[in-house]
Structure 1
Amino acid sequence: MNNGKTFIVTGAASGIGAETCRLLKEQGATVIGVDRNETGNADQFFRADLGDPASIDALVAQLPEGADGLANIAGVPPTMAAETVLKVNLYGLQRLTFGLVPKLADGASIANLASLAGFGWPNAVDQVKRTMDLSLEDDVASFCEKEGLNAAEGGRSYFLSKEALIVWTLQNRWTWRERDITMNCISPGPVDTPILGDFLQTLGKRAEEDRKHMDRPGTPQDVAPVVAFALSEHAKWFRGANLTVDGGMSGHILSNIHQL
């Protein structure tokens, strides 16, 4: 499906990022991995801190031109400080993407790893808009304090980062249409990765209630094929879409909302 293509994958060292690298290589693609931790999962590796603008800019300068796609998979869990969550999961992702677009090949695809945690964005539009007024170089710490994110229980900073990412993806559905560069996002439900414990710790009873409705947590092997599809030519008529891969949880939530 992706034979002969070249893709950049962030978060390549573990979890969904690592499995995406493996699958893309199996499909015949060349994979350029990006992570804070060195890994042999990719054909070529670059170390970067996606919460640091200088590190991102240096990465953009080093990465080769002509890649066929970018998979923005790197992220941090809700147990991290709110400032860090927003910087890595949203603002750093945006800075990297905007920096790389001029270097991507025409017809490239961008796949952003969002989350079921972002499902409620329509009910948080005002806060999402305030969040999206900032960039990585702004005073994110003060913003988090003003929004009460530092004291918010239940990982609100993480939910907000994913809500804003879904909205940002939607907004950029046609931004690079003249070059046929598409952007979509993938929203997994709970996935058995090294940070699943962080979610259970943060969400507590809420997570346990959700898990009652699922036959099992997802795995990286469930999600990586959807990322690979979103990067492929087969997904070229998806623009600004949010592809849910969540074991039916989003359908369950919608059914409850509408009493179906």
Structure 2
Amino acid sequence: MSRTYLVTGAASGIGAATAELLTSQGHTVIGADLRGSDIDADLTTAEGRKHLVERARELSGGRLDGVIANAGISAPIAATVKVNFFGAVATLEGLRPLLLESEAPRAVVTASMASLQPADEELLQALLDGDEDAAVARGTALEESGPQAGYLNYSTSKQAVARWVRLNAPTSDWAGAGIPLNAIAPGVVISAMTEQLTSTPEGRAQLEEQVPMPLNGWMPAESAAELLSWLTSPANTHLCGQVIFIDGGVDAVFRKDTTW
């Protein structure tokens, strides 16, 4: 059965691979990105988020079967929290009414194994409180402190969106409405986003130390796409609020048996 999907971050990386896979399966895919997609929208702004929702409603005819909130950036800047957290949440919340029109609605957001890395507690609290002004102010302070502190914008935003999924998935808005809401947490994906990190021997060595992936090493975007395709398919009937680490073993290396 053909379904209609909205995929953000569809112009490259995991988003592009997912859009291509879903299309090859006979589904209709509405891609969204900063530029070069069916919907060009800047998720750092309230206007861009509103435009995404409005155009998605127009292009879908008012019904979506799956939403994949994949758009994200990894730069050590305050804009990262705008896209990775507030943009993702606005996408999911804004498109939820369109999902309610589907007989088998599904939603997924792309988090990251970086959610296991150190987070800035002040920024994390502002994100979980939904206070964008406070989050951007703290993110800007981190950005101005240099790239090492600035990176906390990325890891903190990914932890926050994973926690948002855990908190919201079992509620009446999502599970109660028959919408499985989950997240994936990829390890290092071979893409334009990681090209600079993997282009030198020194960079590769540093990345391998920081993100140990004992199973098959760095992964192609297509691996994440396969998981996203299943999570947003009718076959997924009972996964609720799960953050699935598709990371070659990073989670197991870092947390060992502490999942219990």
TM superposition score category, shorter chain reference: 0.7 to 0.9
Does residue 1:74 correspond to 2:71, yes or no?
yes
Alpha carbons 1:77, 1:198 under 8 Å: kept: no
Letter in 2 for 1:207: L
1:61 to 54, 59, 62: 54
- Closer, same or farther: CA 208–57 of 1 in aligned 2, 3 Å: same
Question: How big is each residue's C-alpha offset from its partner over 1:95-115, in whole Å with a ceiling of 9 and x where there is no partner?
Answer: 122111112234311110000
Alignment of 1:203-214 (within 5 A): 206-210=206-210, 213-214=213-214
Alignment of 1:211-230 (within 5 A): 213-214=213-214, 215-230=216-231
Does residue 1:108 correspond to 2:105, yes or no?
yes
Does residue 1:169 correspond to 2:165, yes or no?
yes
C-alpha distance in structure 1 between counterparts of 2:108 and 2:96, whole Å: 13
Cα drift, residue 93 of structure 1:
1.2
C-alpha distance in structure 2 between counterparts of 1:18 and 1:24, whole Å: 10
Q: Provide the TM-score with structure 2 as the length reference.
A: 0.84
2:80 to 71, 79, 85: 85
**What secondary structure does 1:75 align onto?**
coil
Q: Counterpart of 1:42?
A: none
**What secondary structure does 2:10 align onto?**
coil
Alignment of 1:27-38 (within 5 A): 27-38=25-36
Q: Counterpart of 1:180?
A: 178
C-alpha distance in structure 2 between counterparts of 1:213 and 1:179, whole Å: 37
2:156 to 155, 160, 170: 160
Q: Provide the TM-score with structure 1 as the length reference.
A: 0.84
Letter in 1 for 2:209: E
What RMSD in Å do the two structures reach over aligned CA positions? 2.5
- Closer, same or farther: CA 170–211 of 1 in aligned 2, 3 Å: closer
Cα drift, residue 248 of structure 1:
1.2
- Closer, same or farther: CA 198–184 of 1 in aligned 2, 3 Å: farther
Identity of aligned residues (%): 27
Cα drift, residue 25 of structure 1:
1.1
Q: Runs (4+) of structure 1 moved beyond 6 Å?
A: 123-126
Alpha carbons 2:5, 2:68 under 8 Å: kept: yes
Alpha carbons 1:91, 1:135 under 8 Å: kept: no
Cα drift, residue 160 of structure 1:
0.3
Cα drift, residue 237 of structure 1:
0.3
- Give 5+ residue unaligned stretches, structure 1: 40-44
Question: How big is each residue's C-alpha offset from its partner over 1:157-215, in whole Å with a ceiling of 9 and x where there is no partner?
Answer: 100010001100101112323320121000000110101035569x9675241456544
Q: Counterpart of 2:244?
A: 243
